[in-house]
């Protein structure tokens, strides 16, 4: 059996990504080993999402961060493919618009937080303020440095008002990123996803690693811990993300609302 690897890093301790194997798959060897489990989990997630919507007392925010080609889009596609789209909203945060840039960096984020009864999925997020902004020196260090505390306070506000936050860092190796970029280049159906900017960003791998490690260390809190998901194997990534979401929803003790009075006596007219 493979040596156990924690999903949540110890809170308050420095995270070193070298300590987390992106190839880790626990006791599983192949995707076929978890195929049936993924099917059952998909059904369970669909049922729980239905209860979340009906219960209308809690919200779930799923945050996905990763290096380029880390699998954010694929995770969203596979984990949420069986749920009711009316109850899930995916937000992809690109470069801020002029209106967004005129406000604080959390302004556009807060507008996309899910309402009670809903699931919100962030493809990239407020953490870009301590990732891309930091790596590319888009603002002075004094500005992005204070963002860690601002993010923690923001997430504490959400957690304290009924939103459960699940943050997933999809951890892939540099070799795996190279393989995925090459797959895009050689597959006509995927070439549209490739940009020369990907090559330029890859040159900053070490800078991004340092930024990710600080993010995982400084914003790993009791109310919103980070999950470091080994993501070289997509099937294991999907399994871990799905099961973590299921456990979070089960922990909400969701119930369907009581029916109207004397429902059993109501007769639908012909």
Q: What is the CATH number of the domain that holds 186?
A: 3.40.50.300
pLDDT at 2: 52
Q: Is the pLDDT of residue 4 over 70?
A: yes
Number of structural domains the chain divides into: 1
Residues 160-219 have pLDDT tens digits of 999 999 999 999 999 999 999 999 999 999 999 888 999 999 999 999 999 999 999 999
Full strand arrangement of the beta sheet holding 119-123: 88-92, 119-123, 59-66, 163-171, 226-230
* Residue 206: both structure tokens together: 């070490």
Based on the number of CB atoms within 10 Å of its own CB, is 17 exposed (0-12), middle (13-18) or buried (19 or more)? middle
Residue 29 and residue 236 in contact, taking contact as beta carbons nearer than 8 Å: no
Residues 65-105 have pLDDT tens digits of 999 999 999 999 999 999 999 999 999 998 899 999 999 99
Please indicate, yes or no, if residue 217 is contained in any of the structural domains.
yes
CA angle 76, 82, 85 (to 5 degrees): 75
Q: How far apart are alpha carbons 166 and 60 in whole angstroms?
A: 8
Please indicate, yes or no, if residue 10 is contained in any of the structural domains.
no
Q: How far apart are alpha carbons 68 and 172 in whole angstroms?
A: 10
Cα dihedral sign, 80-82-83-85? positive
Please indicate, yes or no, if residue 12 is contained in any of the structural domains.
no
Residues 6+ apart with CB under 8 A from 268: none
Given its phi and psi angles, is residue 162 left (phi above 0), alpha (psi -120 to 50 degrees) or beta? left
Per-residue burial over 181-201, b if 16 or more Cβ lie within 10 Å, else e, is beebeeeeeeeeebeeebeeb
Please indicate, yes or no, if residue 5 is contained in any of the structural domains.
no
Find how far residue 25's CA is from the centre of its chain. Answer: 19
Please indicate, yes or no, if residue 243 is contained in any of the structural domains.
yes
Residue 121 and residue 62 in contact, taking contact as beta carbons nearer than 8 Å: yes
* Residue 36: both structure tokens together: 């049936």
Residues 125-173 have pLDDT tens digits of 999 999 999 999 999 999 999 999 999 999 999 999 999 999 999 999 9
Please indicate, yes or no, if residue 1 is contained in any of the structural domains.
no
Please indicate, yes or no, if residue 11 is contained in any of the structural domains.
no
Please give the model's pTM, rounded to 2 decimal places.
0.95
pLDDT at 1: 42
Task: Kindly report the backbone phi and psi dihedral angles of residue 244, in degrees, each rounded to the nearest multiple of 5, phi listed first.
Answer: -65, -40
Please indicate, yes or no, if residue 266 is contained in any of the structural domains.
no
Give residue 108's domain range.
17-256
């Amino acid at each position: 059996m493979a040596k156990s690897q924690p999903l949540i890093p110890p809170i308050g301790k420095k995270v070193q990504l070298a300590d987390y194997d992106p190839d880790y798959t626990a006791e599983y060897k192949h995707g076929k080993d978890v195929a049936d489990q993924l099917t059952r989990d998909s059904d369970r997630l669909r049922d729980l999402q239905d209860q979340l919507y009906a219960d209308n007392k809690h919200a779930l925010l799923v945050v996905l961060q990763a290096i380029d080609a880390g699998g954010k889009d694929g995770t969203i596609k596979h984990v949420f493919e069986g749920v009711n789209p009316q109850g899930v909203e995916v937000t992809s945060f690109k470069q801020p618009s002029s209106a967004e840039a005129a406000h604080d960096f959390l302004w556009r984020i807060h507008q996309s937080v899910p309402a009670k009864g809903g699931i919100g999925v962030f493809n990239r997020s407020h953490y870009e303020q301590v990732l891309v902004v930091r790596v590319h020196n888009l603002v002075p260090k004094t500005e992005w440095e204070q963002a860690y505390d601002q993010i923690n306070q923001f997430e504490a506000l959400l957690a304290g008002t009924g939103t459960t936050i699940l943050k997933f860092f999809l951890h892939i190796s540099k070799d795996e990123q190279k393989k995925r970029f090459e797959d895009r280049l050689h597959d006509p159906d995927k070439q549209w996803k490739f940009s020369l900017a990907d090559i330029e960003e890859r040159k900053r791998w070490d800078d991004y690693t340092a930024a990710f490690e600080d993010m995982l260390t400084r914003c790993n809190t009791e109310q919103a811990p980070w999950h470091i998901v080994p993501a070289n194997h997509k099937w294991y990534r999907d399994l871990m993300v799905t099961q973590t979401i299921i456990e979070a929803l089960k922990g909400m003790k969701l119930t369907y609302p009581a029916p109207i009075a004397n429902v059993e006596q109501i007769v639908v007219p012909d």
